[in-house]
Amino acid sequence: LGQIRLDDDTPGLCTYDPGFTNTASCRSAVTFIDGEKGILEYRGYPIEQLAESSTFLEVAYLLIHGDLPDKAQYEQWVHDITYHTFVHENVKTFMQGFRYDGHPMGMLEASVAALSTFYPESSNITDADNRNMQIVRMIAKMPTLGAWAFRHAQGKPYVYPDNDLSYTENFLAMLFKMSEQKYEPDPRLAKALDVLFILHADHEQNCSANAVRSVGSSQVDPYSSVAAGIGALYGPLHGGANEAVLRMLRRIGSKENIPGFIEGVKNGDEKLMGFGHRVYKNYDPRAKIIKKTCDEVFEVTGVNPLLEIAQELEKIALEDDYFISRKLYPNVDFYSGLIYEALNFPPEMFTVLFAIGRTPGWLAQWLELVQDKDQKIARPKQIYTGDRGLEFTPREERW
């Protein structure tokens, strides 16, 4: 099509699609979404069933390997990931170099990218065993790096992994352990976090997966590719939305202020954070599961007063023509921040939690990319709108 052009001075025929709203950049067998019907499946399995009966590490195996593990495969997978939870001691040293008030996502992004320097063999992306090794390492080390970024920001000593605990329990221990005694989180809260990780594990070609694929298409190592995904997730329109939801709910402050706030949204003053989605034009299936998880968590922790405001806000928005006509429904982030807050996470950690959950998805997308023989380096076209053929005048003549 690029050969079809009006004359030599005009570009060839191409699609102008800013934001790739209608452009498929790859073929993928990882995740299926039907946004109109509100369906999400990982490798063909409905998200509702996985959230109900699976574990995060089993879902990670499913995403990476394409099928559910048998008993031996599952045990080996959990063993391998548990074995690799420790990070090199030098990571501690450069973690200490970050400003005390730096955002933990920045620390996570930088430290994941830096892992490529600890595992230089990761640049050999053609060797399947080597690829799998890096995948295991990355899933294993993300909670350690995330927890250390959190401890650093709080000025607390880093806690080493406790490999007697499950993946999620271990993460909670590295975050919240305050004494020499063994930290044993409430299993109901660890389970809730495990479900949240499952819900975030993949979402086909979202902004961060696209970043992972785009950077990965240069055939760089997987740590650099995933670090690019973390960078994309850092943004407020992607992973940063649940943090923004909590700030929004706090600003609204009480149910009486909701109508005024909604009017502001309709006038275009701001967005209703946690609402709307590029793909879902129906209720996000993950938001439904999160609402249920909310109830389970609040049974243990007591109710967050912001929940009432969130529920009322949802009710009013779902009955309002502005939101109905634009098919704007709650997305995964509308309620997740409330759970994270109940679990004692400060808002700046919310996106880090998202990143830990999304890591298997990024890696599954990366693996698919590097094994796809048709994949070329990502290099979109542009519609050039600038000047042409100007004559350069040296500085001394221009000034």
Q: Of 278, 316, 358, 381, which Cα lies nearest the Cα of 60?
A: 358
135 binding ligand ACO? (CB under 6 A) = no
Return the residue of 78, 105, 125, 265 that touches ligand ACO, per CB under 6 A. Answer: 265
CB 227 within 8 A of CB 216: no
CB count in 10 Å sphere of residue 41 = 17
Give the range of 124-132, 163-171, 235-243, 341-349 binding ligand ACO by CB under 6 A: 235-243
From 73-81, 174-182, 276-284, 356-364, give the range in contact with ligand ACO by CB under 6 A.
276-284
Q: Residue 277 CB, nearest distance to ligand ACO (Å)?
A: 5
Q: Residue for token digits 């930290």? A: 183
Position 273 contacts ligand ACO (CB under 6 A): yes
- Which of residues 252, 328, 349, 369 is near ligand ACO by CB under 6 A? 328
326 forms part of the interface with ligand ACO (CB under 6 A)? yes
Out of 84, 103, 200, 277, which one is annotated catalytic? 277
- Which positions ≥6 away from 112 have C-beta within 8 Å? 138, 142, 145, 223, 226, 227, 230
Q: Is 84 a catalytic residue?
A: no
Give the whole-angstrom CA distance, residue 20 versus residue 78: 37
- The secondary structure of 166-188 as a DSSP string is -HHHHHHHHHH--SSSPP---HH
Minimum CB distance to ligand ACO smaller for 156 or for 238 = 238
| Contact between 237 and ligand ACO per CB under 6 A | yes
How many of the other CB atoms lie within 10 Å of CB of 208? 26
CA-CA distance, 230 to 352, in Å (whole number)? 9
Stretch that binds ligand ACO, among 126-134, 148-156, 172-180, 234-242 (CB under 6 A): 234-242
Cβ distance to ligand ACO smaller for residue 30 or 332: 332
Which value, in Å, is the radius of gyration of the alpha carbons in the chain?
23
Q: Is 288 in the site for ligand ACO (CB under 6 A)?
A: no
Q: Where are the alpha helices (DSSP H) in 119-221?
A: 128-154, 167-176, 187-200, 207-216
Given the residues 194, 202, 221, 333, select the one marked as catalytic: 333
Question: How far apart, in Å, are the Cα atoms of 370 and each of 213, 228, 242, 299, 356?
Answer: 9, 16, 32, 45, 22
Binding marks (x or -) toward ligand ACO, 185..224, rule CB under 6 A? ----------------------------------------
Does position 332 bind ligand ACO by CB under 6 A? yes
Asked if 42 and 63 touch (Cβ cutoff 8 Å), the reply is yes
For residue 330, give the DSSP letter.
B
- Give the residues across from 46 on adjacent strands: 41
Q: How far apart are CA 388 and CA 14, in angstroms?
A: 20
Alpha-carbon distances of 70 from 67, 73, 75, rounded to whole Å? 9, 5, 9
Smallest separation (angstroms) from ligand ACO to the CB of 241 = 3
> Cβ closer to ligand ACO: 54 or 331?
331
Q: Which residue is nearest to ligand ACO (CB)?
A: 276
Name the DSSP class of 343: T
Answer for the pair 42, 28: CB distance below 8 angstroms, yes or no: no
| Binding of residue 274 to ligand ACO (CB under 6 A) | yes
- Catalytic residue status for 277: yes
Nearer to ligand ACO, 20 or 98 (CB): 20
Query: What is the longest distance spanned by two Cα atoms in the chain?
Result: 77
Asked if residue 340 binds ligand ACO (CB under 6 A), the reply is no
Stretch that binds ligand ACO, among 127-135, 173-181, 221-229, 237-245 (CB under 6 A): 237-245
Closest CA to 48 of 191, 198, 192: 198
With contacts defined by CB under 6 A, name the span among 49-57, 110-118, 150-158, 272-280 that binds ligand ACO.
Answer: 272-280
Q: Write down the least CB distance from residue 317 to ligand ACO, Å.
A: 9
In this chain, which stretch among 24-32, 135-143, 252-260, 268-276 interacts with ligand ACO, using CB under 6 A? 268-276
Determine which residue in the list 134, 331, 359, 365 makes contact with ligand ACO, applying CB under 6 A.
331
Cα 166 to Cα 377: distance, rounded to the nearest angstrom: 38
- Selected binder of ligand ACO within 61, 234, 275, 329 (CB under 6 A): 275
Residues in contact with ligand ACO by CB under 6 A are 237-238, 241, 265, 271-278, 326, 328, 331-333
Which of the residues are catalytic? 277, 333
